[in-house]
Amino acid sequence: MTNGRKERHFGIDPQTHELVLGKWRMNLPDSPVLRILVGTLLVVGGVLGFLPVLGFWMIPLGLLVLSHDIPAIRRRRRKLAVWWARWRGQQNSSDKS
């Protein structure tokens, strides 16, 4: 816990509007138009991931940024997060003897 709140490891911090990936944090633009532009550019750059400098890692990062402003992407991200948590819970419970 940091500063009395739970540390997030992946996602967008709703209080500071920062993109959080582990200990790495990046401020997102305040303007929704700029956030959508950044997210779209990341996805397009990720599609071109076979080129030098760009990478396929940019697609999920762009979708994460887009999920901040586009409800359809946000719903899919939340469903994926719930599925992942349930799957990890099943994996952990089956490992115990």
Tens digit of each residue's pLDDT (9 = 90 or more) over 25-72? 888 888 899 999 999 999 999 999 888 878 898 999 899 899 989 999
How many angstroms separate the first and last alpha carbons of the chain? 30
pTM greater than 0.75 (yes/no): no
Look at residue 29 in the predicted model and tell me its pLDDT.
87
3-class secondary structure per residue, 17-67: CEEEECCEEEECCCCHHHHHHHHHHHHHHHHCCCCCCCCCCHHHHHHHHHC
Look at residue 89 and give its three-state secondary structure: helix
Average of per-residue pLDDT values in the chain: 83
88 confidence band (pLDDT: 50, 70, 90): confident
